[in-house]
Each structure stands twice: as C-alpha cells, then as structure tokens.
Chain A
Amino acid sequence: GDSVTQMEGPVTLSEEAFLTINCTYTATGYPSLFWYVQYPGEGLQLLLKATKADDKGSNKGFEATYRKETTSFHLEKGSVQVSDSAVYFCALSPNDKIIFGKGTRLHILP
C-alpha cells in the first residue's frame, strides 16, 4: 500500500544552520505530497505542498521538490531559527485521505 518514510529524529542543529529532512514515498499513481508541522501542544498545520512531479512547494523559507524519479520530497531550509523547533511530518494523498510519515523532531539551539 501507499506509505511514507522519513528520517528518524531527533535532529539537532544550531541556529542559522542548513536543514534537510529526508522523505521518500511509495505510491501507485501520482499522489500529492505535503509537509506538515506540529508545534508543542498543537495540531498539525500544513507547511507546504506539491501536486505534481517537479513542482516545488515553499513557505516560511522551507522548500521541497516533488521528485518522481527518486520518489522523494525532501524538506530544506537555508537558515533555521529557534522558532522552527517542532515535529515535521511528510505526507502523501492519493485521494481524499492523507497518509503521514512518523514525523521528525527538530531541535534548534540558539
């Protein structure tokens, strides 16, 4: 079945460091891909999305490109901030429902 695999955390970086969180997927057809972010004590929030191959989603300095040939959707940010500390979920949607990865906890040190 459809699934998402993302790198295990926690990931700890210093402020202003470059961030990459890897995500690969398995799916039949051409699903939409997403990154969601969860801050402590809150629900998930959509961070960015891409609906077809080679699309780049971006928001708040984060980017991810839908790579069909490598079935990947890696999340990147050039310079992280302490406020980016959260849990990040990669997800795919083949239809009306969304399938989430297990999440990657990110800690940014000042």
Chain B
Amino acid sequence: DAGVIQSPRHEVTEMGQEVTLRCKPISGHNSLFWYRQTMMRGLELLIYFNNNVPIDDSGMPEDRFSAKMPNASFSTLKIQPSEPRDSAVYFCASSPRGQGIGGYTFGSGTRLTVV
C-alpha cells in the first residue's frame, strides 16, 4: 500500500499566482480531508469529502481557496490568487467511511511558501 500521496512536496510561488496541491487517497478509502498546519494556528481542517462529495467546507479560509474531488482517487486544493499568509504545510488524509475514529492516514504534506 503506497499510502496517501501528495504532490508536490515543496512549492514556492510568488504572491498572486495560482497554486494547486494534489492528493491521491488510499484505494478504498471513502473519506478525504484537507488540513493546513501553521505554527500559529496548529492543524486546521479546511474541508472534507465523503464519497467525493464535499461535506463540510466551513474551514476554508476564504473564496480564494477551492477544493475538488472529481473521482475517488484524486483531489485538488487550489489557491487563487495566493498570498504570503497562505504559507503553511498542507496535509491530505483519507479514511474508510465512518472511520473518523482513528482510521485516518495522512500524507507527507506539501510545504507551500508564497513570497
């Protein structure tokens, strides 16, 4: 099992540019989560999907952020336009449906730096 795969591992971009982060969940996992990690705010849940449908996007900071899950094996998180305060590590996690009770598997994260 390859685990949750995120790409890229590192991204450096200029303010105002569009950034797309990618995630491939574990095959058979029905739930997918996007988290953002910063020193100031810790881990924040941005959005999560069940069976490719967004369930809760209340954590998405503003309209510049959008997430999609076109199929069970792929999800994207897009920031357009990016700002320096978006600099953080973004994690994707997946779990079998109804397994919030510890069934999460995290990817290694994407470290985003907006200059």
Contacts and interface: CB of A to CB of B under 8 A. Distances in A.
B31 interface: yes
Contact of A46 (B31, B102, B107): B102
Contact of B106 (A45, A93, A96, A99): A45
Interface in B86-115: 91, 93, 95, 97-98, 100-102, 104, 106-109
A102 interface: yes
Contacts of A44: 43, 91, 93, 104, 106
A93 B95 CA distance: 13
Query: Looking at B55, B91, B106, which has the most chain A CB atoms within 10 Å of its CB?
Result: B106
Contacts of A66: none
B42 interface: yes
Contacts of B33: 97-98
Contact of B101 (A89, A93, A99, A101): A93
Contacts of B4: 43
Query: Looking at B33, B42, B93, B100, which has the most chain A CB atoms within 10 Å of its CB?
Result: B100
B29 to A, nearest CB: 12
A37 to B, nearest CB: 11
A54 to B, nearest CB: 17
Given A43-B4, A43-B93, A100 B100 contact: no
Nearest to B103: A46
Interface string B5-31: 000000000000000000000000001
A85 to B, nearest CB: 18
A70 interface: no
B102 A41 contact: no
Contacts of B95: 96
Contacts of A46: 102, 104
B108 A96 contact: no
B107 A43 contact: yes
